[in-house]
Amino acid sequence: MGATKTEHFTEKQNLIANIAKALGHPARIAIIEYLMKVNECICGDIVNELPLAQPTVSQHLKELKNAGLIKGNIEGTSICYCIDEKTFDLLKDYFSNVISVTKGKCC
């Protein structure tokens, strides 16, 4: 498969695609669901919630953070993570628009 030519797409299209790509792994969905469940910033407890090694969880956290889905704040020697509401608002608006435009117009 050839390289993706992201320059041919709008900034918003690239942003939504990057967010969707970050959501494309069940471990990342599990991390987001855990952060929603506890509804507070979490430092280190995420590894105990997943059947994955600490380095693997760290890599998933990095991908979620790079996509803007979570925020990480340094507290002492730990990084505390929580949901980034702005990105989820962007997704909500995007998919609400998709639904409103396509509602009742499917083939």
Which tokens go with 13?
């299209």
Q: Could you give all domains of the chain from N- to C-terminal order, each with its CATH number?
A: 11-99 (1.10.10.10)
Predicted pLDDT of residue 44: 73
**pLDDT tens digits in sequence order for the chain, 107 residues long:** 455 688 889 999 999 999 999 999 999 999 999 999 998 888 877 888 899 999 999 999 999 999 999 998 887 778 889 999 999 999 999 999 988 887 767 66
What does 28-97 look like in DSSP terms, one character per residue? HHHHHHHHHHHTS-EESTHHHHSSS-HHHHHHHHHHHHHTTSEEEEEETTEEEEEE-HHHHHHHHHHHHH
